[in-house]
């Protein structure tokens, strides 16, 4: 089994980035220009706003940091696995003169990376935290409900939230490339990685198994070098599978490359938390289709037309199951919509917040 897994790992990693490796020397010099060109196409706010951090008490008396910017009606955006919530900033700064944008940092990530999980089922623990966050912001602004946007893992957490708490405190919802089901089932083949689920899950199980003896090691720098190399390679694999465009793959290659010297001293502060989350993904039967019956609010289902994480055809079935949903497909985008289609993502977000997208 281990030999087969290693073969799959090599095959997948090669498939994911071999096509761009020959151009990496050129891309290393042009990545900054690509990013600057994209950013120029997103307008800048007419009034400057300062990013601030507030603390909100959630379940088990934990205090979570929330990044806040802007002025106006409140909006909440929930981040993806491994993402810092502040990575939304390039897309929301142009909207800061119209909305107060709340960016929660979920336990273990971003500004909350030192806050540990207290439950193995991290998705439902996050959902309980989300309930407290939404209630606090609604009370602060003296409103009954507010818009929420969420991507990937954050969107999975929202499906768990809807299952447990309903939609009464959410006025409308932007779901970004996320199915309510993780594991494929006889009646649902649209789980994570679709038809390649068993192959990719085997790779992830390998990294869970080989890092298990080091679960109590706090610093990534103290792990054996070979293990660090395998862990970072698999992490890069996941990132590459999340995008479709060649430029996005090239950017990931540049940003995640660690030569041997750098890897020796690389302080991967979230490695153990990400490992815990990954283990839950593999072991727990996350299926939140029951939540769909509790969601009657307007939903915009934003789909990456080339998503390798969640088959777009199965994501479209989610739209059909919802009573008040609008579907938007960005045909050239993979799962990581903001990276593959930054301008398209901004336009959808802006239209969603302004209520211009209707069923």
Lowest average pLDDT, out of 44-53, 67-76, 202-211, goes to: 44-53
Token readout for 317 is 């079935």
Poorest-confidence range of 171-180, 183-192, 248-257? 248-257
Instruction: Report pLDDT for 1.
Output: 34
Q: Residue 87: CA atoms inside 13 Å, Cβ hemisphere, count?
A: 18
* Selected residue with higher pLDDT from 303 and 32: 303
Predicted pLDDT at 358 = 61
Tell me which residue has tokens 């050239």. 332
- Checking if the pLDDT of 295 tops 80, the result is yes
Question: Residue 244 carries which DSSP code?
Answer: -
Distance of alpha carbon 152 from alpha carbon 175, whole angstroms: 8
Q: What is the mean pLDDT of residues 337-353?
A: 96
Banded pLDDT at 218 (limits 50, 70, 90): confident
Q: How confident is the model at residue 240 (pLDDT cuts 50, 70, 90)?
A: very high
pLDDT tens figures, 10-26 = 444 444 434 334 333 33
Q: Which residue has the higher pLDDT, 42 or 241?
A: 241
Q: DSSP state, 142?
A: T
Picking from 58-62, 86-90, 295-299, which range would have the lowest pLDDT averaged per residue?
A: 58-62
Residue 41 pLDDT exceeds 80: no
Note the pLDDT of residue 59: 84
> What would the DSSP string read from start to end of 258-311?
--HHHHHH---TTHHHHHHHHHHHHHS--B-GGGGGG--S-EEEEEETT-SSS-
Cα–Cα dist 340/209, whole Å:
32
| Cβ proximity of 255 and 28 under 8 Å | no
- Average pLDDT of 195-222? 94
Q: What integer pLDDT is reported at residue 18 of this predicted model? A: 41
- What is the overall mean pLDDT for the chain? 89
358 by Cβ neighbours in 10 Å (0-12 / 13-18 / 19+) ranks as: exposed
pTM of the model: 0.88
CB 264 within 8 A of CB 197: no
Q: Model confidence at 47, in pLDDT bands (50, 70, 90)?
A: low
**pLDDT classification of 100: cutoffs 50, 70, 90:** very high
Q: Is 104 helix (H, G, I), strand (E, B) or coil?
A: strand
pLDDT in the model for residue 25: 39
pLDDT of 233 over the 70 cut: yes
**Considering the chain, what percentage of its residues have pLDDT values greater than 70?**
86
CB 243 within 8 A of CB 336: yes
Is 90 exceeded by the pLDDT of residue 353? yes
31 has a pLDDT exceeding 50: no
Give per-residue burial for 285-304: e unless 16+ CB within 10 Å, then b: ebbbbebbebbebbbbbbbb
Q: What is the CATH number of domain 41-180+288-354?
A: 3.40.50.1820
Lowest mean pLDDT among 9-13, 30-34, 128-132, 348-352: 9-13
Nearest 5°: the CA angle 187, 189, 191 is: 120
Mean pLDDT of 171-186: 97
Is the pLDDT assigned to residue 32 strictly greater than 60?
no
Please tell me the distance from the alpha carbon of residue 179 to that of residue 34, in angstroms, as a whole number. Answer: 31
Residue 273 has pLDDT above 80, yes or no: yes
- Confidence label for 356 from pLDDT (cuts 50, 70 and 90): confident
The Cα 227–Cα 275 span in angstroms is 13
Residue 8 has pLDDT above 50, yes or no: no
Between CA 30 and CA 141 the distance in angstroms is: 44
pLDDT exceeds 60 at position 99: yes
- Residues ≥6 apart with Cβ < 8 Å to 96: 45, 47, 49, 69, 70, 71
Res 38 pLDDT > 70: no
The CATH 3.40.50.1820 domain(s) of the chain lie at: 41-180+288-354
């Amino acid at each position: 089994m281990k030999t087969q897994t290693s073969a799959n790992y090599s095959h997948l990693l090669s498939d994911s980035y071999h096509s761009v490796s020959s151009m990496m020397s050129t891309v290393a010099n042009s990545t900054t220009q690509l990013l600057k060109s994209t950013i120029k196409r997103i307008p800048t706010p007419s009034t400057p706003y300062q990013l601030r951090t507030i603390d909100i008490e959630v379940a088990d008396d934990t205090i979570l940091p929330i990044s806040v910017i802007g002025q106006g009606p409140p909006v909440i955006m929930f981040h993806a696995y491994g993402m810092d919530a502040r990575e939304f900033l390039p897309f929301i700064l142009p909207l800061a003169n119209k909305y107060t944008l709340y960016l929660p940092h979920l336990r273990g990530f971003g500004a909350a990376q030192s806050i540990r999980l207290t439950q193995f089922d991290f998705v439902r623990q996050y959902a309980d935290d989300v309930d407290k966050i939404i209630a606090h912001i609604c009370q602060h602004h003296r409103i009954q409900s507010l818009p929420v946007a969420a991507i990937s893992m954050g969107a999975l957490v929202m499906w768990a939230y809807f299952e447990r708490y309903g939609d009464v405190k959410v006025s409308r919802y932007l779901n970004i490339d996320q199915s309510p089901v993780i594991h494929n089932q006889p009646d649902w083949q649209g789980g994570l990685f679709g038809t390649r689920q068993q192959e990719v899950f085997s790779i992830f199980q390998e990294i869970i198994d080989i890092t298990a003896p080091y679960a109590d090691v706090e610093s990534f720098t103290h792990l054996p070098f070979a293990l660090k190399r395998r862990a970072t390679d698999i992490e890069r694999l996941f990132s590459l599978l999340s995008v479709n465009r060649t430029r996005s793959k090239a950017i990931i290659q540049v940003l995640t490359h660690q030569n041997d010297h750098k890897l020796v001293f690389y302080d991967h502060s979230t490695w153990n938390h990400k490992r815990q989350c990954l283990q839950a993904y593999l072991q727990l039967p996350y299926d939140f289709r029951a939540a769909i019956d509790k969601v009657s609010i307007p939903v915009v289902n934003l789909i990456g037309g080339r998503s390798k994480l969640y088959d777009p055809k199965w994501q479209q079935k989610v739209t059909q199951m919802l009573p008040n949903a609008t579907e938007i497909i960005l045909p050239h985008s993979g799962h990581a919509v903001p990276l593959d289609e930054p301008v398209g993502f901004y336009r959808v977000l802006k239209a969603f917040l302004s209520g211009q997208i209707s069923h």
